[in-house]
Amino acid sequence: MTSRETCPSAPAGAAVTGQATDRPADAHTSGAQAQRLASALRVGPISTITAAQELDIVHPPSTVRWLRNRGYSIKTEWIYKTTEPGRRPHRVGLYVLASEPS
């Protein structure tokens, strides 16, 4: 089965990627990922790790750039955050929404 074939056990319209999914196939477009990030930023700051793990954004810095190119003002602050207990912290971006396009 290729990555674009559907699976009987997957939700309607979902692409099979070797993992179970609860998102439609188009949820990984740049626009869909940007919508998820913009919605989360309206609530508060989001780290690169949180964006990747909880929002299912493949490459958060690219999604931030995508939004900035469309008029969003997003500040980047640098923080140290662990990915797992007991692991050394990583320096990651913390994105803060300053303003949206008018």
Domain segments of the chain as ranges: 26-99
Compute the 3-state secondary structure of the chain and give helix, strand, coil in percent, each to the nearest 5: 35, 20, 45
Q: In this structure, are residues 16 and 6 in contact, taking their beta carbons and an 8 Å threshold? A: yes
Mean pLDDT of the chain: 83
Alpha carbon distance 14, 23 (integer Å) = 6
Q: Number of H helices and number of E strands within the chain?
A: 3, 3
Question: Residue 4 above 50 pLDDT?
Answer: no
Label residue 80 by pLDDT band (50, 70, 90): very high
pLDDT in tens, 28-64: 899 999 999 999 999 999 999 999 999 999 999 999 9
Mean pLDDT on 59-71: 97
Answering whether pTM is above 0.85, one says no
Mean pLDDT on 61-85: 95
Q: In this structure, are residues 23 and 14 in contact, taking their beta carbons and an 8 Å threshold? A: yes
Q: In this structure, are residues 52 and 46 in contact, taking their beta carbons and an 8 Å threshold? A: no
Fold of 26-99: Arc Repressor Mutant, subunit A (1.10.10)
